[in-house]
Amino acid sequence: MPSPLYNTASIADMRLRARRRLPRAVFDFIDGAAADELTRMANEAGFARGRLSPRVAVDVSRIDTSVDILGFRSALPLMLAPTGLAGFYWPDGEIAAARAAAKAGIPFCLSTNSVASLEAVAGAVPSVKRWFQLYMLKDRALMWDMVERAEAHGYDTLCLTLDLAVQGRRDRDIRSGFTVPMKLSSASIADFAMRPRWLWGALRRPVAFGNFASVKGLGALSVAQFVGTLFDPTVDWAQVAEVRKRWRGPMVIKGILNPDDARRCVELGAQGVIVSNHGGRQLDQVPASIEALPQIADAVAGRAAVYLDGGVRRGTDLIKARALGADACLIGRPFLWGLSAAGEPGVDRVIDIFREELAIALALLGHPVFSAIRGDILVP
Amino acid sequence: MPSPLYNTASIADMRLRARRRLPRAVFDFIDGAAADELTRMANEAGFARGRLSPRVAVDVSRIDTSVDILGFRSALPLMLAPTGLAGFYWPDGEIAAARAAAKAGIPFCLSTNSVASLEAVAGAVPSVKRWFQLYMLKDRALMWDMVERAEAHGYDTLCLTLDLAVQGRRDRDIRSGFTVPMKLSSASIADFAMRPRWLWGALRRPVAFGNFASVKGLGALSVAQFVGTLFDPTVDWAQVAEVRKRWRGPMVIKGILNPDDARRCVELGAQGVIVSNHGGRQLDQVPASIEALPQIADAVAGRAAVYLDGGVRRGTDLIKARALGADACLIGRPFLWGLSAAGEPGVDRVIDIFREELAIALALLGHPVFSAIRGDILVP
Amino acid sequence: MPSPLYNTASIADMRLRARRRLPRAVFDFIDGAAADELTRMANEAGFARGRLSPRVAVDVSRIDTSVDILGFRSALPLMLAPTGLAGFYWPDGEIAAARAAAKAGIPFCLSTNSVASLEAVAGAVPSVKRWFQLYMLKDRALMWDMVERAEAHGYDTLCLTLDLAVQGRRDRDIRSGFTVPMKLSSASIADFAMRPRWLWGALRRPVAFGNFASVKGLGALSVAQFVGTLFDPTVDWAQVAEVRKRWRGPMVIKGILNPDDARRCVELGAQGVIVSNHGGRQLDQVPASIEALPQIADAVAGRAAVYLDGGVRRGTDLIKARALGADACLIGRPFLWGLSAAGEPGVDRVIDIFREELAIALALLGHPVFSAIRGDILVP
Amino acid sequence: MPSPLYNTASIADMRLRARRRLPRAVFDFIDGAAADELTRMANEAGFARGRLSPRVAVDVSRIDTSVDILGFRSALPLMLAPTGLAGFYWPDGEIAAARAAAKAGIPFCLSTNSVASLEAVAGAVPSVKRWFQLYMLKDRALMWDMVERAEAHGYDTLCLTLDLAVQGRRDRDIRSGFTVPMKLSSASIADFAMRPRWLWGALRRPVAFGNFASVKGLGALSVAQFVGTLFDPTVDWAQVAEVRKRWRGPMVIKGILNPDDARRCVELGAQGVIVSNHGGRQLDQVPASIEALPQIADAVAGRAAVYLDGGVRRGTDLIKARALGADACLIGRPFLWGLSAAGEPGVDRVIDIFREELAIALALLGHPVFSAIRGDILVP
């Protein structure tokens, strides 16, 4: 793929490339969030607060960006977050992303709602460190089957997501009438005229949810209808505990914003929590991830790992999250922008940008070892 | 009415639909406010502050959005606020709005300054839970007559509005020369060219103030002239107390921003106060409603109900108002936008949007019962 | 003058009318300020902070906007500030403004740098309550002569301005090359094409500084050159005290931003101080007038009157200034905008707007008597 | 050079002139900074906070703007900062800037990365007070040779820069593919069409790094490649101390943002520190210079001089920096804008603007002597 990505300087640049390539309704599905998108914006804006205090005259010729993630030595404090429908933006998108993660030496987390099935991803990229993300499904038999398939195919960490009891109300998607598969009416004439290749490919490609192959009669649904049909809104802590009991590997709980919930996760045996507001896509006006982080790190108090997603766009964001208590971060939209813009090389470039930005930041801060970063790197 | 309102995702979207349909001067009369409109903007912006703290792993399969409003079980913590001239924006606008409220199971408050008379509304929509809003009129005989007619026609709650001793100075209306009925000179050529149907209907329709049918010689007046002619600027608490004595049902006092005034209302026997700055339309630079709410809730201290209007645009706004001490909220501009955009289905859609947003927010907050919301749902 | 000013709703509207009528360089001379104009903007923005707390159920049928200004019962807490060159923007501009002030029953302060001489203004508008504003001139003989002429012609209060030791650096004027009289090169072709009447009148009109008729050889000067030639940068408090001794009537000192300077003014016998940063035209980054007011009112502690100019644009601004310790306010740019837009009727309209806004605000605040306003009208 | 610079009122104006003259990629190299450029913007915005408190009735007929800079009586509290590549923007740019500094009586600091060699500058402008800025080079023999040449040619102060262990990641330069010498592909067609003279001159001119004449094989490199090839990332305090020992004159350390680092500088015998974030060009999200200044001034506690660069654009900025603890300021971009816009007269004008703004500010503050400014000039 000869795309001139070398002068795509930042994640924000990659977003613009994705915007040029995708039909508006599809771009908006990735980019948008709930209601006024205040939380989505706060996720990013929160990282612009706080100042890093650099030290000079430190030997920074050897930079170490690696961290331990539940026993795996990740080359970067970065994971690819579970995101639905990656294969809708680019053919075999989940596999492309998993390949990029494998090359970079970082974990990849497959979504319940992927286009490629978990078997297909594991088969195509056996070397990737892989997590499986689980939603609580109304059909528990289907759910436990999916869990067993994940275990059987080498997904060694389970990422249970709890912030999708119902689907958030995303105004952009309501306006565009976005469904999966996409209806022609959701794409404007301009979309057709300007992006014939994308539409041709997407309309021909039978988009299905690979992990739900056994479920019949899922036609063109809005995401809200999909969630309402399949996901279970009655989940309580007892049922979460049951998942913890049945899964043998490490389990991480995603979607935590409240310190008391974080404590519950630890108490029932979770190995980690992911501070997340689902990229602001579920409920607007909840705290930005980086704002919620310090209290949750305090509540967890080292008894489990703490991860964060939401608004991570720069190498310095990884450092700030670390300073405030996160062991590593996940990125969702950034890698989808790379994927949508240019497929696997686009995801490669996204990870490269984080790696370069992080390494240079560590050098210029006079803190060559990422895992040694502490809160005192922030100006009080 | 086949308007495709399903993709009108939010109240803000509905406002844009109304803007396309109404002549500029009419839209500005609804949308505008006093002076620099800082208070109007602060009403909305005030709701964007404060963060909601969601809980996960709570069974949210049964959502209850209902509240008690002075003995009436309202399906939502929402009422249609008294607004003048609804029938000017859409034929029989007050009746259309009352019908939408009846279907939704929420109260409707008719304005003194309605186009349809209180008898006409009660006759057309006998099932709606209805309040009557009263201004203190110079002509007390006329006023008491109006009060008796209201009682006779099933308006069981009186909403006495005290923030209109004189009319606020609304710059947009001064600029456009807005009057009722509208003079041709207030509509631009573009208005004519783009909205022929609206103008044709409005100019033919004899707009009158239905409740003032007995008052002669009200020609084309600005709203300020109308208020100056009819409303009484000498009102004091003794006269408010007299209204309280003569009205047999519950009485609510609207337009309260000062905690001492709220205490006076309670002491003279009001069943509720409405924290309101008249949508920022009276005096600019007074507090936003949501800013004034906590102190007033403290002053009332449970001895009466506390309601709020001003800036309510989202389901989460209802939750924040509740968390800060309001029993329910009223909406003015939002339902007028729906009415102006599409008549009764437009108001239906506005209430639907609030219902959907509220229900989803309660689910995602892990607080399925609205009336159980407390201040601790706000991040400290 | 048949200009349709009735729909000029606000001072901001009047500014736009002036902008349409004046050549750019002239408008910029009025509108502009020093450097980045941060202080100019802060003057206005400062009034947008702080909230007024309204009371209801108060008899507001009788509104009293009058105040005592050094023994004169002014109909409004408002004065026309000394501004140079009013006669440059409109023929006989100073006389037009003085007439408007006389009709409105408020004081008018003539600038040292007026186009019309002090004799001409007094002769044309003998009924106006008039102050004379004085700069300390290098040529003391000329200065004392001017002072005596002022006294002889009924200017009973002397307003000594101390913030013009040198002229501030006003970037817009440097860019446009603005001089008085105006050079043709400072007006663009567009100015000529769009405002032929203004330019024709201005270029024919011999603009001179009426009070400096005896000074020879003042050609086309920038204001900075004018100030540098005539004004005295060596003034100290001893010389201020000397002015105080020689002037028999009340003396007010203008340009005070520092509380210690305010104390000095009181100690040497000034009857008042004017908190002012010269409309932000002298030094950028000094405090906004309304920000500096409270400390100065504290320092003066009732021993002299406190006035304010800078950023006063709304009736509510007069109330906020009062609440923070000012006895009355002066307006500069607002009346020059009215004058430039429409001559005397323009100034009339500007004063009318303040009167209407103030009266309505007092009514809606439930405080019918302006002079009874105290600090408790502000929300804490 | 007949450029009409007299109406270039401010440094911001000069920036716009430079933008019109330079190809986009070159302008962006000067103007741009790291990542989102938040620190670059904060540098400037930081000076817009804090208010100056003016005093009146002070004799300001004699203004003294001079300060002592390590034994040199500088006419202004201002130095020309070391900036690479000045000769790339204008033929013999370093010499032009040095001449302007000499005329103005202020120090000039030559960058290691200048186009003109240190010998050429010293030969052309022997009268200028000159500093030499040093980066720690991997090739220590080359470095010590450069240091000896500097000493031999009258550079009496060494300015050791420590914030360039690696090159920061400047997104604009990555996007444009900027290299030195410039590749044709980095200039757009529009650049060619609109700025033929600049390109013709720049492409013919063999741009080389004068002080590195002995280094072979430096082709068209990005600045990051240049830095990576030549600069030493292993520097520690012991090596800094060695430089201090071998250099006989005063030594100033540049790039300090952390108070502990400032203390280290003082302890190893530096005569001064320069609070600097390299104009925001190295690491984004570090503190603005003016924000970091007070703590560093406290840490140094008078034991060494404290200078500042970053965001200095106005005469009042020099006063604020002084009030917060800086002895003088350096300007980088401002003089490069003047140089790029108009060569030596452009730099003259930039220094003139600072001189005029500073003198007028001192007069209007009632503080005629710059060196007597203390922290109490800021409003608390």
Substitution target in D10, D14, D44, D56 with the highest count of C β-carbons within 10 Å is D56
- C-alpha dihedral over A253, A254, A255, A261, to 10 degrees? 20
**With bands split at pLDDT 50, 70 and 90, how would you rate the model's confidence at C1?**
very low
Residue with tokens 């005096």: B283
CA distance C211 to chain B (A): 39
Tokens standing for B62? 């049964």
| pLDDT at position A204 over 70 | no
Vertex A292 angle, CA A287 and A296, to 5°: 145
- Distance between CA atoms of D333 and D343, rounded to whole angstroms? 14
CA distance D6 to chain C (A): 8
Distances (CA, A) of B217 to A357, B164, B181: 75, 22, 13
The b-or-e profile of B293-332 (16+ CB within 10 A means b, else e) is bbbbbebbeeebbbbbbbbbbbbbbbbbbbbbbbbbbbbb
Substitution target in D364, D365, D373 with the highest count of C β-carbons within 10 Å is D364
The percent of residues in chain A predicted with pLDDT above 70, rounded, is 97
- Distance between CA atoms of D145 and B171, rounded to whole angstroms? 74
Q: Across residues A254-265, what is the average pLDDT?
A: 98
Residue B183: per-residue pLDDT = 73
| pLDDT at position A199 over 80 | no
Query: Omega into B181 within 30° of 0, i.e. cis?
Result: yes
Q: One-letter amino acid identity for D146?
A: M
pLDDT, one tens digit per residue, over D214-231 is: 888 777 778 888 999 999
SS (H, E, C) chain D: CCCCHHHCCCHHHHHHHHHHHCCHHHHHHHHCCCCCCHHHHHHHHHHCCCCECCCCCCCCCCCECCEEECCEEECCCEEECCCCCHHHHCCCHHHHHHHHHHHHCCCEEECCCCCCCHHHHHHHCCCCCEEEEECCECCHHHHHHHHHHHHHCCCCEEEEECCCCCCCCCHHHHHHCCCECCCHHHCCHHHHHHCHHHHHHHHHCCCCCHHHCCCCCCCCECHHHHHHHHECCCCCHHHHHHHHHHCCCCEEEEEECCHHHHHHHHHCCCCEEEECCHHHCCCCCCCCHHHHHHHHHHHHCCCCEEEEECCCCCHHHHHHHHHCCCCEEEECHHHHHHHHHHCHHHHHHHHHHHHHHHHHHHHHHCCCEHHHCCHHHECC
| pLDDT at position A270 over 90 | yes
- Distance between CA atoms of D350 and D329, rounded to whole angstroms? 14
The percent of residues in chain D predicted with pLDDT above 90, rounded, is 85
Pick from A159, A147, A153: which is nearest to A128 by CA? Answer: A153
Q: One-letter amino acid identity for D220?
A: A
Within a 13 Å sphere around the CA of C133, how many CA atoms are in the beta-carbon half?
Answer: 23
- Distance between CA atoms of D189 and A329, rounded to whole angstroms? 42
**With bands split at pLDDT 50, 70 and 90, how would you rate the model's confidence at A6?**
confident
Q: Is C342 exposed, middle or buried (0-12, 13-18, 19+ CB in 10 A)?
A: buried
Pick from A10, A33, A83, A40: which is nearest to A311 by CA? Answer: A40
Q: One-letter amino acid identity for A34?
A: A
Substitution target in B362, B364, B378 with the highest count of A β-carbons within 10 Å is B364
CB contact under 8 A, D162 and A51: no
- Distance between CA atoms of C358 and C353, rounded to whole angstroms? 8
Distances (CA, A) of B342 to B2, C66, C217: 9, 50, 72
CA distance B58 to chain A (A): 5
- Distance between CA atoms of C14 and C31, rounded to whole angstroms? 12
Contact indicator for B202, B45 with CB cutoff of 8 Å: no
User: Which of A24, A129, A278, A313 does the annotation list as catalytic?
Assistant: A278
The percent of residues in chain C predicted with pLDDT above 90, rounded, is 85
Q: Which residue has the higher pLDDT, D311 or D194?
A: D311
In degrees and rounded to multiples of 5, residue D307 shows phi and psi of -120, 170
Low-confidence ranges of chain B (pLDDT < 70): 1-4, 184, 186-187, 203-206
- Distance between CA atoms of D271 and D269, rounded to whole angstroms? 6
Number of C-beta neighbours around residue B356 at 10 A: 15
Q: Across residues D175-179, what is the average pLDDT?
A: 88
Contact indicator for A342, A3 with CB cutoff of 8 Å: yes
- Distance between CA atoms of D293 and D46, rounded to whole angstroms? 11
User: Which of B15, B278, B313, B320 does the annotation list as catalytic?
Assistant: B278
Taking contacts as CB-CB distances below 8 angstroms, the residues of chain C near B167 are 360
Chains B and D touch (3+ CB pairs under 8 A): no
| pLDDT at position C2 over 60 | no
CB contact under 8 A, A36 and B314: yes
Residues of A with CB under 8 A from a CB of B: 35-36, 38, 162-163, 165-169, 171-172, 174-177, 233-237, 239-240, 255-258, 260-261, 264, 282-287, 291
Contact indicator for A163, B54 with CB cutoff of 8 Å: yes
CA distance A105 to chain D (A): 23
B35: nearest CB among C50, C314, C365: C314
Residue C192: per-residue pLDDT = 72
CB contact under 8 A, D35 and A60: no
Reply yes or no on whether A367 is catalytic: no
**With bands split at pLDDT 50, 70 and 90, how would you rate the model's confidence at C178?**
confident
- Distance between CA atoms of C286 and C303, rounded to whole angstroms? 25
Residue A205: per-residue pLDDT = 67
Contact indicator for B33, B359 with CB cutoff of 8 Å: no
Tokens standing for C175? 């860019």
- Distance between CA atoms of B352 and B78, rounded to whole angstroms? 11
CB contact under 8 A, A171 and B9: yes
Residue with tokens 């090739």: D139
Contact indicator for D312, D290 with CB cutoff of 8 Å: no
Pick from B260, B320, B265: which is nearest to B288 by CA? Answer: B320
CB contact under 8 A, D166 and A60: yes
| pLDDT at position C341 over 60 | yes
Whole-number average pLDDT of chain D = 94
- Distance between CA atoms of A42 and A286, rounded to whole angstroms? 10
- Helix (H) or strand (E) run with residue C59 in it: none
**With bands split at pLDDT 50, 70 and 90, how would you rate the model's confidence at A206?**
low
Whole-number average pLDDT of chain A = 94
Cβ–Cβ pairs < 8 A, chains B and C: 94
- Distance between CA atoms of A205 and D9, rounded to whole angstroms? 61
Alpha-helix runs per DSSP H in A22-170: 24-31, 38-47, 86-89, 93-104, 118-124, 140-152
In degrees and rounded to multiples of 5, residue A242 shows phi and psi of -65, -40
- Give residue C269's Cα distance to chain centre: 23
- Distance between CA atoms of B326 and C96, rounded to whole angstroms? 54
CB contact under 8 A, D356 and C169: yes
- Prediction ipTM score: 0.96
- Distance between CA atoms of A372 and A380, rounded to whole angstroms? 18
- Distance between CA atoms of C52 and C40, rounded to whole angstroms? 23
Residue B75: per-residue pLDDT = 98
Tokens standing for D355? 């001189």
The percent of residues in chain D predicted with pLDDT above 70, rounded, is 97
Pick from D184, D168, D161: which is nearest to D26 by CA? Answer: D184
Residue C219: per-residue pLDDT = 72
Residue B206: per-residue pLDDT = 64
The b-or-e profile of C182-197 (16+ CB within 10 A means b, else e) is beeebbeeebeeebee
Taking contacts as CB-CB distances below 8 angstroms, the residues of chain D near A366 are 165
User: Which of D153, D254, D264, D278 does the annotation list as catalytic?
Assistant: D278
Q: What is the CA radius of gyration of chain C?
A: 20
Question: How long a stretch of residues is chain C?
Answer: 380
Contact partners for chain B, using 3 or more CB pairs closer than 8 A, are A, C
A280 DSSP assignment: G
| pLDDT at position D49 over 50 | yes
Q: Across residues A24-28, what is the average pLDDT?
A: 93
Query: Omega into C196 within 30° of 0, i.e. cis?
Result: no
Residue C197: per-residue pLDDT = 74
pLDDT, one tens digit per residue, over A325-345 is: 999 999 999 999 999 999 999
Tokens standing for B132? 């009557």
CB contact under 8 A, D286 and A10: no
CA distance C261 to chain D (A): 7
Residue with tokens 């007559």: B145
pLDDT, one tens digit per residue, over A143-190 is: 999 999 999 999 999 999 999 999 999 999 999 988 877 776 666 777
Pick from D135, D144, D141, D90: which is nearest to D113 by CA? Answer: D135
SS (H, E, C) C136-187: CECCHHHHHHHHHHHHHCCCCEEEEECCCCCCCCCHHHHHHCCCECCCHHHC
β-strands B67-69, B72-74 pairing? antiparallel
| pLDDT at position D236 over 50 | yes
Cα(first)–Cα(last) distance of chain D, in Å? 46
pLDDT, one tens digit per residue, over D198-213 is: 777 776 666 788 999 8
Residue A1: per-residue pLDDT = 41
| pLDDT at position C198 over 80 | no
**C52 strand-pairing partners:** C378
**With bands split at pLDDT 50, 70 and 90, how would you rate the model's confidence at D1?**
very low
pLDDT, one tens digit per residue, over A278-291 is: 999 999 999 999 99
Contact partners for chain D, using 3 or more CB pairs closer than 8 A, are A, C
